[in-house]
Chain A
C-alpha cells in the first residue's frame, strides 16, 4: 500500500515570511514520482514540480524550492518571501506503477494562508 501524509492541515504566515510544507510518503516501489500541486480558490489544481525516485537533487525555482530526501521519505516544499498570491491548498502526490497499473495517491493537502 502507498500513502502520502501532509501533517500540516493549515498554516498561516505573514507576507514575506518563509514557509515550509511537509510531505512524507510510503511506498514499496523503487521507481516512483513525487509531485506538488497548488489548488487556488478557483479549484483547478496547478502542477508545480515532479521528482523521480532516482533524483535526489534539490531544486529551486524562483521563490520555490523542494527538498527530496529518500532516507526520510520526505519531499518538502519551501516558499521563500511568501506573497498573498501563494494562498492556496497545496497537495503532495505519489505516483507508482503497481501491478502494471499507474497509481496516484494524493495527500490531504495543506491550506496556506498568507496574511498581508
Chain B
C-alpha cells in the first residue's frame, strides 16, 4: 500500500514568488491535513480538507490556501512568499479524519525562500 506522497521534496523560491505543493494521500483516505514545521514554531496546523471541502483552518494569513480534488489529492499554495515561509511542509492523511484516527504523514516538502 503506497504511503502519502508529497512533491516536490525540495524547493527553492525567491521572495515574492508563489509556490504550489502537492500531496497524494493513501488510497481510500479522504481527509488531508497540512502542517508547517519550523525550528522556532514547531508543527503548526494549516488546514484540513475532507471530500473536497475545507473542514478546518489554522491561524495563517490568506496567502496560504489549499484545495482538494475529487481523487482526494490536495494542493497547497503560498502566494507572495516571505523569508519566514521557509519551512518543512507536511501533509497527513486519514481515512475519515475522525477523532480516533492517527495521521499517516508524508516525508514533506522543504521550502526555502531566498
A residues with CB within 8 A of B: 31-33, 35, 37, 42-47, 50, 52, 91, 95-97, 101-109
Contact of B56 among A43, A46, A101 (CB under 8 A): A101
Using A32-B99, A47-B105, A108-B42 as known contacts, list a sample of 9 further A-B pairs with CB atoms less than 8 Å apart, ordered by residue number in A.
A33-B100, A35-B102, A44-B105, A45-B90, A46-B105, A47-B104, A50-B101, A50-B102, A101-B56
What's the least CB distance linking A104 to chain B, in Å? 6
Tally A-B pairs: CB < 8 A.
55
User: How long is the Cα–Cα vector from A101 to B49 in the complex, in angstroms?
Assistant: 12
Q: Is the interface of B mostly helix, strand, loop or mixed?
A: strand
User: How long is the Cα–Cα vector from A97 to B55 in the complex, in angstroms?
Assistant: 12
* Inter-chain contact B103/A107, CB cutoff 8 Å: no
Q: Does B88 contact A (CB under 8 A)?
A: yes
What's the least CB distance linking A96 to chain B, in Å? 8
What's the least CB distance linking B13 to chain A, in Å? 19
B residues with CB within 8 A of A: 33, 35, 42-43, 45, 48, 55-56, 88, 90, 92, 97-108, 110
* Inter-chain contact A43/B88, CB cutoff 8 Å: yes
Name the CB-closest residue of B to A6: B42
* Inter-chain contact A42/B105, CB cutoff 8 Å: no
* Inter-chain contact B108/A43, CB cutoff 8 Å: yes
* Inter-chain contact A102/B106, CB cutoff 8 Å: no
Name the CB-closest residue of B to A98: B56
User: How long is the Cα–Cα vector from A106 to B41 in the complex, in angstroms?
Assistant: 11
What's the least CB distance linking B50 to chain A, in Å? 9
List of B residues within 8 angstroms of A32 by Cβ: 99
* Inter-chain contact B99/A102, CB cutoff 8 Å: yes
List of A residues within 8 angstroms of B97 by Cβ: 102
